[in-house]
Amino acid sequence: GAGVSQSPSNKVTEKGKDVELRCDPISGHTALYWYRQSLGQGLEFLIYFQGNSAPDKSGLPSDRFSAERTGGSVSTLTIQRTQQEDSAVYLCASSPRLAGGGAKNIQYFGAGTRLSVL
């Protein structure tokens, strides 16, 4: 498809287990974001990848969270030793991120992964 794809769409896990969430961005998009959204809340920024630059990890809530982006395309968000408070929808977005100042950063979102930690 032409849009951002996230998998799985739903994930139920037990407290203490590790989970991996996958994001396939739109082909050619250089920027990729991960957000977390709790029920009825706004978007919480987690991490930002822009081309070959070092990722901006300033939003990761703890060292149990990590993410990587291989080959400038697919990204995986890993949560180790999951806790109940990690339950949320995890959204991925990609953008063309045109070069130069005044860049347009319109974001294209996937449908999200709903994570439930029991």
Query: Contact positions toward another protein, by CB under 8 A?
Result: 4, 33, 35, 41-43, 45, 48, 50, 53, 56, 91, 93, 95, 97, 99-112
| Paired strand residues for 114 | 10, 89
Nearer to another protein, 55 or 80 (CB): 55
DSSP string of 30-82? -EEEEEEE-TT---EEEEEEETTSPPB-TT--STTEEEEEGGGS-EEEEE-S-
Nearer to another protein, 5 or 80 (CB): 5
Measured from the CB of residue 66, what is the shortest distance to another protein in angstroms? 18
Measured from the CB of residue 101, what is the shortest distance to another protein in angstroms? 5
Instruction: Reduce the DSSP state of residue 84 to 3 states and report it.
Output: helix
Measured from the CB of residue 38, what is the shortest distance to another protein in angstroms? 11
Measured from the CB of residue 100, what is the shortest distance to another protein in angstroms? 7
Instruction: Reduce the DSSP state of residue 23 to 3 states and report it.
Output: strand
Nearer to another protein, 59 or 64 (CB): 59
Nearer to another protein, 80 or 109 (CB): 109
Q: Please answer whether residues 33 and 85 qualify as being in contact, where contact means their C-beta atoms are separated by less than 8 angstroms.
A: no
Residue listed under structure tokens 């809530």: 61
